[in-house]
Amino acid sequence: PLLSLRVVVKGSPELAPRLRVKIHSAVGLPPIDLTGKNDCTCTFQIVGKSYSRSTTKICFKTCDPVWNENFDGKDRYEDGDNLVFEVRTNGGKAGKNELLGRCVLTNNEFSSLGGWHGDVPLIDVARAMIPNPDTPTGRHAPKLKVSAWLQDMMPDDDEAFVMRAQGIVNAATALLSETTSFCRQTSFRHSISQEE
């Protein structure tokens, strides 16, 4: 007996991931136990797409964790998607992963040319066991530093980016020079008219 098989693949090839995310660090997380330190991780996902969840490594015994981790690949980003980030404690095998804070990065914040690079205030902040001595209320105001961008919304290469930036600097310098010249002329005319 002879078995013949025909395989037909229908569909388009998988596109390279467009969304890139870097979770840099967090500062000012509330300590949720009496040691004053947390073992924490940060997760992010596309809102409404739990399969896109990615998690950083664990940073031990700190309220200012530094991860510096890059993510791409499994996101299945679509235009209009928002990102949600959550910083949680790592309770280990027996413990509970408690939410320390979360934030949402909206699509319009990271989908423009150059993307988003900066701090995002965390909301839904956990109640701290130790109050913050730097605020009158004792509340903690943690921030998460992230970068998120779409690959096709980044400059083609570093040289092109530098050239565009230099063009902006040159235009601003020219405008400043013209403004300074105008102010000097106006001031000179004003002082002559007062002398007369």
| pLDDT for the residue 185 | 64
Query: φ, ψ for residue 172 (rounded to 5)?
Result: -65, -40
| Inter-CA distances, 20 with 8, 17, 98, 118, Å | 33, 8, 26, 14
Lowest mean pLDDT among 60-74, 98-112, 131-145: 131-145
Query: φ, ψ for residue 91 (rounded to 5)?
Result: -85, 0
Lowest mean pLDDT among 26-30, 66-70, 123-127: 123-127
DSSP 31: P
Q: 145: which strand partners? A: 25, 119
Question: Percent of the chain, pLDDT > 70?
Answer: 66
Provide the CA 69 distance to its chain's centre, in angstroms.
Answer: 12
| pLDDT for the residue 97 | 83
Q: Of residues 158 and 26, which shows the higher confidence score?
A: 26
CA distance 85 to 187: 54
Handedness of CA 112, 21, 117, 47 (dihedral sign): positive
In contact, 41 and 64? CB cutoff 8 Å: no
